[in-house]
Amino acid sequence: MKIIETPIPGLLIIEPRVFADERGYFFESFNEIKFTEAGLNTGFIQDNESKSHRGVIRGLHYQLAPYAQAKLIRVVRGTVYDVAVDLRQGSPTFGEWFGIEVSASKKNQFYIPKGFAHGFSVLSEFAIFSYKCDEFYNPKADRGIRFDDPTLKIDWKFPLEEAVISAKDLALPFFANAEMNFKFE
């Protein structure tokens, strides 16, 4: 398993070692020992999965502390463009975002620590999106930022007029008005 740092502290790309032959393939999608050795004491407690079709944007979502969630993202089928926005006050990259294409064919993963807003756009015909969380969903702590925030200027990798957005996500505030309570450590 290869763990790659991104330009934003704490965001990591995970490339598992894939063993392929004429029968198919095998890889470890998660190994607690290897994550712990890399300094990631995750304590994942819940797995979630969603299916979305091309053009869907989900996000940008997060939960306020102390209910913030670290996530380990992977795509079981299809391709998404996954985005994390740094919401940690005092971070050298506060308000910056990082995006990566995550796909079933690459088998790559994206680790997002607490203190980030998260969202993704579906680039394939459809995608089955799976992620681990280290905290349970808490509706009272649930928050978000609009996908089309003019200060963030996120490139979702297709024209926004083609985007399919939920009513909930359309009602989210822009970054400047979003409630956030994360500190950079």
Catalytic, 118? Answer no
Residue 121 to residue 44: CA distance in whole angstroms:
24
Are the C-beta atoms of residues 118 and 59 closer than 8 Å to each other? yes
The one catalytic residue among 62, 81, 111, 131:
131
The residues near 47 (Cβ < 8 Å, ≥ 6 apart) are 130, 131, 132, 133
Three-state SS for 7? coil
The one catalytic residue among 61, 62, 81, 111:
61
Edge-to-edge strand list for the sheet holding 116-122: 97-103, 79-86, 116-122, 57-63, 142-144
Q: Which residues are catalytic?
A: 61, 131
